[in-house]
Structure 1
Amino acid sequence: MNISSHYKLQHFIPWTRVKIYKMLILSVIPTLLFYFLDWKWLAIPWVPVALLGTATAFISGFKNTQTYNRTWEARQIYGAIINNSRAFGIMVKDFVREDDEQSTKIHQEIIYRHFAWLTALRFQLREIKSWENVKTKSYNLEYLKYYKVPEWESILDQELKSFLSEEERQYVLSTKNRATQIIAMQSSQLKKLNEEGKISDYSYVALENQLKELYDQQGKCERIKNFPYPRQFSSINLYFTNALCLLLPLGFIGEISKMIEKFGENIIWLVVPFSVLLGWVFLVLEQIGESTENPFEGSANDIPITQISRNIEIDLREMLGEKELPPAIQPNNNILM
């Protein structure tokens, strides 16, 4: 997540420079052919270009709206995880009854296991899927120099050592959906505490409902992660945009060639800057939508799930009365992960 007022041009232009090169090639070649070889047939009426541009604008707007909705929903889900985590921490601390020393130990065990759930979930969400773009597009790979993805820099095995016993850690690592099994372990312990009379029936039900809420939020994250923006809409947006960029210079040649008698032959070179600028706008709209459609893929536009998880950990550690707290995640070049 970029936390500055806007992307700086020194970052944004290089990120989109391939689109500029593409439009330069598409506009310079027909202009050269028209100017030097007198290929008049390259000039086409503006009407088909305008009609295609209208269709492209609609489909680009639709894609960007829908991909933004995916990102905003992901942020809402993690907002709910924050609230549910705090509520769960308070309930664990206040509902589990035991002598002071034993109670503190149980509180810590359950809350630390919750940290393990947050850790396992963010590692699962940052796994690369075949349809994601952050490691398949050259401009995204190049932009990785401005930030780091913590889940790619560390190993889940090592991260869980701080939160789970060795037996629990080995069991969790042997499962496919680690986050799911960690919540199942939480439920098993709560059931045992209820049977031992350390949690009342009412408190047990309330805590189980909190686990259900966490499962719900995890499932919503998995839905966004595992279901891509529909490929048919992504494809037509790509095809329409490329078709428009191909026709733009020809349409501009048709329009600007009408002014040759008045301003001279050299005016035809205005085709290049106009085509590059307008084509760049549509190509960048498509690229922006592409970079927004997967909010957990590890791009600079991701939901900052690492930072959110760390803030939850700090809050819950303070509930336990701990003084040595982990540092908050800091932005790298104004990007929070």
Structure 2
Amino acid sequence: MNISSHYKLVHFIPWTRTKIYKMLLLSIVPTALFYFLDIKWLAIPWVPVALLGTATAFISGFKNTQTYNRSWEARQIYGAIINSSRAFGIMVKDFIRSDNKTLDNQLHQEIIYRHFAWLTALRFQLRETKSWENVKTKSYNSEYLNYYKVPEWESSLDEELKPFLTEDERQYILSTKNRATQIIAQQSAALKKLNETDVITDYNYVVLENQLKDLYDQQGKCERIKNFPYPRQFSSINLYFTNALCLLLPLGFIGEFSKMTEKFGENIIWLVIPLSVLLGWVFLVLEQIGESTENPFEGSANDIPITQISRNIEIDLREMLAEKDLPPAIQPQNNIIL
């Protein structure tokens, strides 16, 4: 997530420079052919270009709206995880009690630390690269990785789980496919054992289990966004429409400016190039922005900051345990925080 007021042109132009090169090529070639070789058929009426532009604007707007909705839903889900985690921490502190205060503190730490393990496993799963994601495959995105680091790509889940789980439990979790799911299953088994020994009353046990169910719900919503891409048919048609428009734009401008040569001279035809580049860049960038927004967990600069959110939850719950040695909050790198 970018936390600055806006992307500055010094960053935005290099990110989209390939689109500018593309439009320069698409506009210079037909303009030069029309001007030097007098190929008249390159001048086409503006009406078909305008009609295609209208359709492209519609489908681009639709894509950007839907990809933004995916990103905003992901942020809402992690907002719910924050609330559920805090509520779970309070319940663990207040519902798990016996005559032995030392034992209670140990149980509180064990269960809350297991929750930290769940947060860790979930964010590692969400940062796994899928075939349809583009943060690593598109050059303009991979270049931007020089401005920041993705924590889940810099460390291993094995190391991150060590402070939170026992050795046996950690080895078991690492042997499973969906680690986050199995950590909550382990959490439920631990609560069941405490209920059977009367450390947790039946009513409190049911309430705590409902909190685990809520965490499962939020995890499932994250997995739905992660594992189901923006529909490829809509993504493809947006790409095709945008490229077709960029191809026809210079020809339409040639048709319009060729009508003005008698009044303003033949050199006016060269205005086709800057206008085509500007207008084509707008549509191509709209398509690129939609593409960079559709996968809110992939590790891009526009991602939901799940690492920061998980760390903030950890700090809150450690304070509930009355711990003083708290981990530092995640700091932005070049105004980007993940």
**Aligned position for 2:90:** 90
Distance in 2 separating the partners of 1:133 and 1:54 = 27
Query: What is the root-mean-square deviation in Å for CA atoms of aligned residues?
Result: 0.3
Question: Which residue in the other structure is 1:140 paired with?
Answer: 141
Distance in structure 1 (CA, Å) of the matches to 2:59 and 2:11: 27
Q: In 1, distance between residues paired with 2:313 and 2:257? A: 60
Q: Which residue of 2 aligns with 1:187?
A: 188
Deviation at 1:144? 0.5
1:56 aligned onto 2:77: no
Q: CA deviation at 1:97?
A: 1.1
Count of residue pairs brought into register by the alignment: 337
Cα deviations by residue, 1:6-56 (Å, 9 ceiling, x for unpaired)? 001111000000000000000000000001001111000000000000000
> What are the equivalent positions in structure 2 for 1:303-314 lying under 5 Å apart?
303-314=304-315
CA shift, 1:320, in A, is 0.1
Question: Equivalences for 1:62-73 in 2 at 5 Å?
Answer: 62-73=62-73
Measure the CA separation in 2 of the matches of 1:257 and 1:322: 76
Matched, 1:259 2:260: yes
Q: Which residue of 1 aligns with 2:126?
A: 125
Matched residue, 1:2: 2
Which residue type is aligned with residue 319 of structure 1? Answer: M
Structure 2 CA distance for aligned equivalents of residues 149 and 257 of structure 1: 52
Q: CA deviation at 1:77?
A: 0.2
Aligned to 2:115: 114
Runs of 5+ in structure 1 lacking a partner? none
Q: Does 1:156 align with 2:157?
A: yes
Counterparts of 2:43 and 2:298, CA distance in 1: 43
State the identity %.
86
TM-score by length of 1: 1.00
Residue 286 of structure 1: aligned partner: 287
Q: Which runs of structure 1 show a deviation greater than 4 angstroms over 4 or more consecutive aligned residues? A: none
Q: Secondary structure, in 3 states, of the residue corresponding to 2:260?
A: helix
Counterpart residue identity of residue 133, structure 1 = N
User: One-letter code of the match for 1:312?
Assistant: I
- Quote the residue 1:317 is aligned against: 318
**Equivalence map 1:190-269=2 (5 Å):** 190-269=191-270
Q: 1:47 corresponds to which residue?
A: 47
Residues 100-138 of structure 1 show CA distances to partners (whole Å, capped at 9, x for unaligned) of 100000000000000000000000000000000101100
- Residue identity matched to 1:155: S
Aligned match of 1:30: 30
**What is the DSSP-based 3-state SS (H/G/I as helix, E as strand, rest coil) of the residue aligned with 1:326?**
coil
CA displacement at 1:159 relative to structure 2: 0.2
Q: For residues 149 and 21 of structure 1, what CA distance do their matches in structure 2 show?
A: 30
